[in-house]
Amino acid sequence: MPEASLTGEVHERADGNVFSLFEAAAVANAERPFLVVPGGPLLTYGGMLAETARAAAWLRWLGVDRGDRVLVQVHKSPAAVVLYLACIRAGAAFVPLNTAYQAKELDYFVADSDPALIVASPGLSAEVVESDRPRIALRGDLEAAPWASAVDLLGTVAVAPSDCAAILYTSGTTGRSKGAVLTHGNLSSNVEVLGRAWRWQEDDVLLHALPIFHVHGLFVALHCALLHASPILFHERFEPAAVLRDLPAATVFMGVPTFYTRLLAEPALDVDVCRGVRLFVSGSAPLLDATFDEFAERTGHTILERYGMTEALMVTSNPYDGPRIAGSVGPPLSGISVRVVADGHPATANQPGVLEIKGPNLFSGYWRNPDKTAEDHTADGFFVSGDIATIDEAGFVRIVGRSKDLIISGGYNIYPKEVEMAVDALEGVAESAVIGIAHRDFGEGVVAVIVRAPGSDLRPEAVRSALATELAAFKRPKMVVIVDELPRNAMGKVQKAELRERYKDAFAAG
């Protein structure tokens, strides 16, 4: 807890910084491997402390002060991990962006986050996005890192737990992204709760194959390992064959459901390969019962499904001990409250309604957007998730739908409104409706239903290629359908449910 003075003011303390948790574990286990890549350990925990101190001092030297934003679009690499840790260690706010974003998508993030520094991997859009802010190129290996020759070191900066550690952008139903401000207190409390809930042990070895620009790879996977100074088998991207190669050396694996369906497609996935693993975690999108069952059959492991979101980090988890129920995301984690509200009233057991969340995990608000922050909170401080859920008599939550118009594809969120705006701006388009349809690989796949402008002969392939510079590849429609008109109700509102029904088998073959 922060120290309060007699005036009630909150003081900064070194242990208010989430990095202090990682530092304590690293100091006690300095010789232990931190990042392990094929060929052997790349960095020990002691090395991590030295590298992040050097990188933090380098950030200061570049003029990045406590509270400043560092906008980062970089490939996953050891240097990217060190950069992240150095930012929080220096008290700066880390603002990671999906590597798939195009330059046009980046303009908004640069303007909105008002960064003191932009860091870009060569070849990614952040390298070319227009900005008057200082910009640094980051290559993956540590020897070539821009701080490699820095001589100064910076220790962990004292911050208040309410200080911003990171801003993660999440799209909105209006098509405009909002930056969720996550505090040091949010990150500390969530990782401590997860460590206990999942019985994290010092001799755990994490196989890390998730991207590190989202909550799952960054704050769940990476933080759990850092809190316990556990070695990380570091994969720069998810490749099923590489995962199967390294799984025998791991004890914990985390993934989105697409990871599990792709692993199941590998004949080599069996009991033997998974023998050393004690925990498989799934989240970020619904895990199908069929995947849960097939994985149990093939490997003898019941996947532990948990539920979270950018604004609230991890919220619920199936139990480590006790039944892990397919289709359920488990009860709330310790210290976190959830409730379901149906038509403005508390729902009864198993009655669907909107899930609301409260606890130390909850973000402090949307960056420079108090109106949206207020809109998404109730008067008594619960965050309105936009997910439709039920809670049963035993307190187990099921996510049964969404009140927000959102598509989750391979664990990435896609807001139809944003895609519709990009499609509607194309020459030859009169209007469009974008929907998510069941997809065997990605869970949901994006379908754009388009009405052409009078006289236009626009073809589906032309729509896809025209979007290549407008939208990240994962947001682009996997299928484009041209129709004469969109179905509307009496109020003139497009009937997306009807379109979803009409095209429900769009990806049935693939």
Which residues would be at the binding site for ligand AMP (CB under 6 A)? 170, 215, 283-286, 305, 307-310, 329, 385, 387, 399, 402, 408, 413
Residue 169's binding partner out of ligand AMP, ligand MLC, none, with CB under 5 to 8 Å set by partner kind: none
Judged by beta carbon, residue 207 or residue 399, the one nearer ligand AMP is 399
Tell me the closest approach of the beta carbon of residue 480 to ligand MLC, in angstroms: 13
Binding of ligand MLC at residue 256 (CB under 6 A)?
Answer: yes
Helical (H) or strand (E) element with 259: helix 257-264
Q: Two tokens at 87? A: 């930012």
Instruction: Among 16, 161, 172, 211, indicate the residue that binds ligand MLC (CB under 6 A).
Output: 211
Asked if 185 and 360 count as a contact pair (C-beta separation under 8 A), the reply is: yes
DSSP letter string, 273-292: TTTT--EEEE-SSPPPHHHH
Is residue 279 at the binding interface for ligand MLC, with CB under 6 A as the rule? no
Establish if 260 lies at the interface with ligand MLC (CB under 6 A): no
> Minimum distance between the CB of residue 113 and ligand AMP, rounded to whole angstroms?
17
Instruction: Return the half-sphere exposure (C-beta side, CA atoms, 13 A cut-off) of residue 343.
Output: 2
The window from 82-90, 174-182, 417-425, 472-480 that contacts ligand MLC (CB under 6 A) reads 472-480
Counting other chains too, the contacts that 297-303 makes at CB distance below 8 Å and 24 or more residues apart are 298/264, 298/269, 298/270, 298/271, 299/269, 299/270, 299/271, 299/273, 299/274, 300/271, 300/274, 301/274, 301/277, 303/260
Residues 408-447 that bind ligand MLC (CB under 6 A): 409-412, 442
Distance CA 448, CA 420 (A): 8
- Measured from the CB atom, is 389 or 429 closer to ligand AMP? 389
Name which of 131 and 173 has its Cβ closer to ligand MLC. 173
Residue 96: its H or E element: strand 93-96
Rounded-to-integer distance, Cα 201 and Cα 191, Å = 13
Query: Does residue number 291 form part of the binding site for ligand MLC (CB under 6 A)?
Result: no
Partners of residue 93 on adjacent β-strands: 69
Query: Which C-beta is closer to ligand AMP: that of 58 or that of 307?
Result: 307
Nearer to ligand MLC, 33 or 443 (CB): 443
Which of 216, 235, 324, 358 forms a contact with ligand MLC (CB under 6 A)? 216
From candidates 249, 268, 473, 497, binder to ligand MLC by CB under 6 A: 473
CB atoms within 10 A of CB 196: 12
Question: How far apart are the C-alpha atoms of 263 and 283, rounded to whole Å?
Answer: 15
Q: Which residues bind ligand MLC (CB under 6 A)?
A: 210-211, 214-217, 238, 256, 258, 283-284, 308-310, 409-412, 442, 473-474, 476
